[in-house]
Structure 1
Amino acid sequence: MGIFAQLQALFRTPTPPPTPVAPPKVAASMAPVGEERRQRPRVNAREGTRVLIIDDSKTILTVLRKFLRSAGYETSEALDAESGLASLPSQRPELIFLDIVLPGMNGFAALRAIRRDPATRDIPVIMMSGNEQAMEQFFGSRISADDFMKKPFSRQEMFFHIERLLDDQQIPRRAAARHAEA
């Protein structure tokens, strides 16, 4: 051992071992996505729930399709808002994942079209974006989306957002519709 190392050892104060800190207790209904969420069973929508995914990223479409189908959901996909809106009468989705940044019509315009149509206005919509500015614009404008999911997202996050929209029969409902029934 060199002189410098001996001096360091001589003047170093021993540090006590770290004491474990328990994570704060969080109510199950307020549990954030993550470890606390995994401690309780996931609540899925009923088997066969129809979900429309509108996103221009084939990767996002594939990931959402895989996550949803593995839990018994039926999915349909569209690469742009126009084709997604055109498919609504035939697909009759019960939940829509809608990207904000799309080619042609953006997600905000598509959401306005969904809300203006009496046949689709009650479908819950989860908006998605990886663009920080779009997220700020979403919260700032307070348009009538039912939830927002930031990309990239995990499987647990996706199911957390769906679970927040389920009613007592495990059917996705708009927040306003759930409060009106109560």
Structure 2
Amino acid sequence: MLGRVNESPPATGPEPARILVIDDDPTVSEVVAGYLTRAGHRVDRAADGRHGLAAARAHRPDLLVLDLMLPGLDGLQILRALRADRAAADLPVVMLTAKGDEADRILGLELGADDYVTKPFSPRELVLRIESVLRRSRAAKPAAGPDGPVVSGDLALDPQARRAHRQGRELLLTLREFDLLAFLLRNPGTVFSRQELMERVWGWDFGDLSTVTVHIRRLREKIEDDPAAPQLINTVWGVGYRYDPVTREKDPTP
């Protein structure tokens, strides 16, 4: 069932966001909701996957806190459904995972989750992670984007509209993927470590570096002719990643 915590958040603190917490553990859900409410946010809660997915679609929260182990639909199924829905494809998602579920964590990131926190976790750390994702999400809105369009080969990116195209076809990118692609296109030929990408693209000074690896792999799947033999986003072994623009030769046949 969907529940609401604190309809009227305090006026002080960060700009309030509407956050949906989907977790079937009432203790975890209550603690998370309590900390987020005290941080100034409005919180909705759902205790199973089907109600949670329906709430995410109906209420359009600013961010989703999603437990992976849920009755009805699990968290990965919810992620797949949201990322396949154009209206919700860029909804920021922070996953809650069990400590040993590394495979599920990686799959969640591959499906488009923006960050994750492992159980047991510090509620204060979770709030910091959530607000870091919210800051990036708000900064990414068209009104806040001063940068002009970028064209590189058959890639075209418009930060104002938050849209990217390859060979004239629109790419369905998550918030993290869009920011990463925009950064790489604006810095061709420069090698960046995973730590540098985390800090300069997403403003994170902590987190799992495998997050960068996963997003690089997802981008390659969307912009490379052969993701297994990338030409655009290249790995510089022992250092990091580099974007190399490729000028495709025109067919000389008249």
Task: Please give the TM-score of this superposition, normalised by the length of structure 1.
Answer: 0.66
* Partner residue of 1:128 out of 72, 96, 102: 96
Higher relative contact order (CA 8 A, sep 6+): 1
Match of 2:234 in 1: none
CA distance in 2, matches of 1:148, 1:168: 16
**Unmatched tracts of structure 1, length 5 or more:** 1-43
CA distance in 1, matches of 2:80, 2:137: 28
Matched, 1:46 2:40: no
- One-letter code of the match for 1:71? A
* Partner residue of 2:75 out of 104, 107, 125: 107
Match of 2:29 in 1: 61
Match of 1:11 in 2: none
C-alpha RMSD of the superposition: 2.5
**Unmatched tracts of structure 2, length 5 or more:** 1-12, 142-173, 184-254
Q: C-alpha displacement at 1:130, in angstroms?
A: 2.1
Secondary structure of 1:56's aligned partner: coil
Match of 1:148 in 2: 116
Secondary structure of 2:61's aligned partner: coil
- Evaluate the alpha carbon distance shift between residue 84 and residue 154 of structure 1 in structure 2; reply closer, same or farther with a 3 A threshold: same
1:93-118 per-position Cα deviation (integer Å, ceiling 9, x unaligned): 01001111111211101100010111
CA distance in 1, matches of 2:25, 2:57: 23
CA distance in 2, matches of 1:177, 1:127: 19
- Evaluate the alpha carbon distance shift between residue 169 and residue 91 of structure 1 in structure 2; reply closer, same or farther with a 3 A threshold: closer
Q: Counting strand residues as a fraction of each chain, which structure ranks higher?
A: 2
Q: C-alpha displacement at 1:143, in angstroms?
A: 2.5
Identity of aligned residues (%): 32
Matched, 1:139 2:106: yes
Match of 2:225 in 1: none
Greater radius of gyration (CA): 1
Does the CA contact (< 8 Å) of 1:45 and 1:170 recur in 2? no
Match of 2:59 in 1: 91
Does the CA contact (< 8 Å) of 1:167 and 1:178 recur in 2? no
Secondary structure of 1:72's aligned partner: coil
